[in-house]
Structure 1
């Protein structure tokens, strides 16, 4: 791949970075996987890194605050024109996500890239 990505594929708001650091105090090694389910489609799920097996068809979009962020390849194909922005809102996290029970949860927002499709990140 000769093209270079000038914009990061995944970013986090200050509120999200604060919640990530709170979770990392309890679970030092974590990762994110963008949910593709019907109910949690906008919820990035946060797991202990040793409790989640990253699949062969998962794509690493990048890292936020040193935490890897993955999405399934089929979902990437739908969202490849967008930059994901991880934010925090009031509420409960996904059933197995580490933000659950903290009265705030992660939420994925997005924006279109500047007219170009960025190439699939290398695994």
Structure 2
């Protein structure tokens, strides 16, 4: 059984492809609070330094995805699903790259079954 800690919807992957064409390599960071709360933020990799307290959740669409250490503890037993929604106005001051395309990345989650969690590699627990 292969289970991934992080996956993305086809809609989110399509937005990532567009952003990569415009910005090159990307990185995601979900800080756990700040301007945009707990929304995942997408940056040009060259423009973002990953905080040392953040944990790599995995890769999505060829991009590294990091999450705040405290949030990781909350999501330790969950699969994170990166999705996107149309967002024309409410988050117009976001620092995340997708906002200029009229979208906002969001995360959804689901709890792993015991078998799924136990099948994760040790370094992902």
Work out whether the TM-score is over 0.5.
yes
Structure 1 residue 75: Cα displacement: 1.0
Structure 1 residue 42: Cα displacement: 4.5
Gaps of 5+ in 1: none
The match for 2:47 among 29, 51, 57 is 51
Q: Secondary structure at the match of 1:18?
A: helix
Q: State the match for 1:99 in structure 2.
A: 98
Structure 1 distance, partners of 2:17, 2:34, is: 28
Gaps of 5+ in 2: none
Identify, as 1 or 2, the structure richer in helix.
2
- Mapping 1:1-123, distance limit 5 Å: 6-37=2-33, 40-92=36-88, 95-115=94-114, 116=117, 119=122, 121=124
User: Does the 8 A contact of 2:86 with 2:103 survive in 1?
Assistant: yes
User: Does the 8 A contact of 1:42 with 1:109 survive in 2?
Assistant: no
Structure 1 residue 121: Cα displacement: 2.9
CA RMSD of aligned residues (A): 2.3
Q: Secondary structure at the match of 1:99?
A: helix
Q: Secondary structure at the match of 1:96?
A: coil
Structure 1 residue 87: Cα displacement: 0.7
